[in-house]
């Protein structure tokens, strides 16, 4: 990006490679503080996380006065899209710089409804759309987003496919609609989601597929003050560690008409977190509060 480039939306030059990719407005001379989610559909990119977390690059696109929610089932994404604008090698005026050469004004971006930013609360990450916050255990990484929030232990080389990265443990929350779950009750949604959760976590090349599973829990629970339903499986893989996967569904604390899905997954290994940590995270989920952006420990 040079100072001769015309004003426009471009991939945020401050993007770190984790979480949803946003676009920043270039006013022709400097980067402004105006951000938006890309309006175009996101091309699917897969980086196998392999922990029971179908995590969420989720974007909003306004269509006919409504909201279309698009998801990517990778735990994280990298800015590898060939049709994205190239990041600037430098930041004229600094990231979030104010407008023209004298710093006193800013070229106005086209009309664009800016997404609500995730609330900032120490020790939690927040899914704004779902209205829930997940606790971030000590030493874990977390990511808040307009739609979707996740916490995880970090990556290691997958046992059956060394070209992919897996994680020992992780939890991800998103609206049921964003995950294309059509069930209308928490119980029906949780029972429908658990098989999808297990397959996408341990059923692919990363772990050599699932050879069998055992249901450990299927019961109503109260989470974040809402009456939800939880299903937990133990899965046996053909290669590498076995795992625990859990699908929890509850009504959004901010909208009784919206169901929220919380997918969890832990490897069964001495290097993985204990199953009790999954229970602690589940109990620690709460209604979101506050404004701004941030997380307990960002990735």
Instruction: Give the pLDDT of residue 3.
Output: 53
Percentages helix, strand, coil for the chain, rounded to the nearest 5? 10, 35, 55
Q: Which of 246, 152, 265, 147 is nearest to 206 (CA)?
A: 265
pLDDT score, position 152: 94
pLDDT at 11 over 70: yes
Q: Are the beta carbons of 249 and 263 closer than 8 angstroms?
A: no
Tell me the per-residue pLDDT of 287-297, one tens digit each, with 9 for 90 and over. 998 533 333 44
Residue 121 has pLDDT above 50, yes or no: yes
The rounded Cα 234 to chain-centroid distance in angstroms is 24
Q: According to the model, what pLDDT value does residue 291 have?
A: 39
Q: How confident is the model at residue 256 (pLDDT cuts 50, 70, 90)?
A: confident
* Average pLDDT in the chain: 73
Q: Which tens digit of pLDDT belongs to each residue from 50-78?
A: 343 433 333 332 222 222 233 333 333 33
Instruction: Name the residue among 167, 137, 131 with its Cα closest to residue 262.
Output: 131
pLDDT, greater one: 262 or 96: 262
Give the chain's count of helices (H) and strands (E): 2, 17
29 or 53: which leads in pLDDT: 29
Q: Where is pLDDT greater, at 257 or 221? A: 221
User: How much is the pLDDT for 161?
Assistant: 87
- pLDDT tens sequence across 160-214: 888 888 899 999 999 999 999 999 999 999 999 999 999 988 988 888 889 999 9
Query: What's the CA angle centered on 121, arms 149 and 155, to 5 degrees?
Result: 40
What is the pLDDT, as a whole number, of residue 274?
Answer: 96
- Judge contact between 159 and 172, C-beta under 8 A: no
What is the pLDDT, as a whole number, of residue 239? 86
Burial class (CB in 10 A: 0-12, 13-18, 19+), 81: middle
Average pLDDT of span 13-17:
69
Find the mean pLDDT for residues 253-269.
Answer: 94
Map residue 134 onto helix, strand or coil.
Answer: strand
What number is the average pLDDT over the span 102-109? 36
The arithmetic mean of pLDDT across residues 278-282, rounded, is 97
Residue 166 CB-half CA count within 13 A: 29
The answer to whether the CB of 57 falls within 8 A of the CB of 20 is yes
* pTM beyond 0.95: no
Buried b (16+ CB within 10 A) or exposed e, 136-159: bbeebbbbbbbbbbbbbbebeebb
Count of C-beta atoms within a 10 Å radius of residue 263:
29
In this predicted structure, the answer to whether residue 286 has a pLDDT above a threshold of 60 is: yes
């Amino acid at each position: 990006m040079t100072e001769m480039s015309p004003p426009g939306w471009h991939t945020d030059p401050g993007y770190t490679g984790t979480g949803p990719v946003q676009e920043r407005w270039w006013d022709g001379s400097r980067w402004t503080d105006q951000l938006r989610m890309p309006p175009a559909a996101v091309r699917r990119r897969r980086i196998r996380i392999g922990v029971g977390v179908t995590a969420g690059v989720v974007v909003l696109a306004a269509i006919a006065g409504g909201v279309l929610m698009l998801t990517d089932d990778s735990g994280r994404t990298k800015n590898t899209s060939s049709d994205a604008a190239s990041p600037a090698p430098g930041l004229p005026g600094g990231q979030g710089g104010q407008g023209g050469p004298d710093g006193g004004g800013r070229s106005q971006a086209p009309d664009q409804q800016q997404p609500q930013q995730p609330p900032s609360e120490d020790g939690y990450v927040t899914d704004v759309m779902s209205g829930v916050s997940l606790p971030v255990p000590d030493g874990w990484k977390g990511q808040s987003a307009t739609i979707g929030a996740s916490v995880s232990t970090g990556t290691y080389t997958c046992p059956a496919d060394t070209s992919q990265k897996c994680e020992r443990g992780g939890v991800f929350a998103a609206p049921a609609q964003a995950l294309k779950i059509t069930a209308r009750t928490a119980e029906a949604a949780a029972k429908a989601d658990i098989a999808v959760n297990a397959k996408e976590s341990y059923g692919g090349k990363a772990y050599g597929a699932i050879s069998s599973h055992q249901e450990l829990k299927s019961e109503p629970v109260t989470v974040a003050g809402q009456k939800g339903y939880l299903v937990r499986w133990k899965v046996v893989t053909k290669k590498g560690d076995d795992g625990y996967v859990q699908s929890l569904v509850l009504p959004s604390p901010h909208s009784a008409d919206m169901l929220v899905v919380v997918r969890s997954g832990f490897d069964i290994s001495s290097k993985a977190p204990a199953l009790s940590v999954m229970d602690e995270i589940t109990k620690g989920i709460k209604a979101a509060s506050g404004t701004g952006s941030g997380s307990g420990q960002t990735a």
